[in-house]
A and B are shown apart, each in its own frame.
Chain A
Amino acid sequence: DQQVKQNSPSLSVQEGRISILNCDYTNSMFDYFLWYKKYPAEGPTFLISISSIKDKNEDGRFTVFLNKSAKHLSLHIVPSQPGDSAVYFCALRRGGSEKLVFGKGTKLTVNP
């Protein structure tokens, strides 16, 4: 049973527009919610995170929103740039544990 779901396998956005990547989870025990970015033939790199006590965290063009009641988080990228084209994974973990539970990823393509 998949605990973390990224229901959109791919997303295509025009340069300059907003990209919205979504992630749903089933277990309310998670405390930290992370987004990783992955280019082909490379390992995931950390992008941004949020803890369960917050509902929004912003870092430059990247904003993560957390809706605990809906067990849903999203990553907003604005404005989107062609270099943002990559696979984005959400990853969740419980407090006190280093184990990450990943979604399947969403492939973002930003068209020039």
Chain B
Amino acid sequence: GAVVSQHPSWVICKSGTSVKIECRSLDFQATTMFWYRQFPKQSLMLMATSNEGSKATYEQGVEKDKFLINHASLTLSTLTVTSAHPEDSSFYICSASGLAGAGTDTQYFGPGTRLTVL
């Protein structure tokens, strides 16, 4: 099956610093990657959609200058939380799609990254 990894699995940083999270599709080429954020007891909220080689499309209310997304290759997308603040503390999950022949279940999720901003 399709495997998506994320690194790091958890990170603690000081307020004002930037944090980079990597999302990799290990055994398939991901034409599209998605970044989600999940607050405790809430649903996964889509932040942005990125296609390889083009700019990410951000959902309404998500600051593109704060959450920088780069999808430079078909197997790697990165999310950089710039000038992080405590309210950015959350669980960030990526997913990838692009597996040939897949049906409606084409998004494969990474294990997530727990970000804590002190």
* Complex contact B106–A104 (CB within 8 A): no
Which residues does chain B contribute within 8 Å of A102, judged by CB atoms?
36, 43-45
* Complex contact B42–A104 (CB within 8 A): yes
| A49, chain B: closest CB distance, angstroms | 5
Convert B8-46 into 0s and 1s, putting 1 for each residue whose CB lies closer than 8 angstroms to a CB of A: 010000000000000000000000101010000111111
* Complex contact B49–A49 (CB within 8 A): no
Which residues does chain B contribute within 8 Å of A100, judged by CB atoms?
34, 44, 46, 107
Which residues does chain A contribute within 8 Å of B109, judged by CB atoms?
36, 43-45
Interface residues of A in 81-112 (CB under 8 A from B): 89, 93, 98-105
What is the interface residue range for chain A against chain B? 20 to 34
* Complex contact A42–B111 (CB within 8 A): yes
CA distance A55 to B111 in the complex (A): 31
* Complex contact A104–B43 (CB within 8 A): yes
* Complex contact A99–B49 (CB within 8 A): yes
Q: Which residues of A contact B (CB under 8 A)?
A: 2, 4, 9, 32, 34, 36, 41-46, 49, 51, 89, 93, 98-105
| Contact sample, A vs B, 18 pairs, CB 8 Å cutoff | A9-B41, A34-B104, A41-B112, A42-B112, A43-B95, A43-B111, A43-B112, A44-B109, A49-B103, A49-B105, A93-B104, A98-B32, A98-B34, A99-B34, A100-B44, A100-B46, A101-B46, A103-B43
Given A4-B43, A103-B43, A105-B43, 11 other A-B contacts at CB below 8 A?
A9-B41, A32-B104, A41-B111, A42-B112, A44-B44, A46-B105, A98-B32, A98-B106, A99-B49, A100-B44, A102-B36
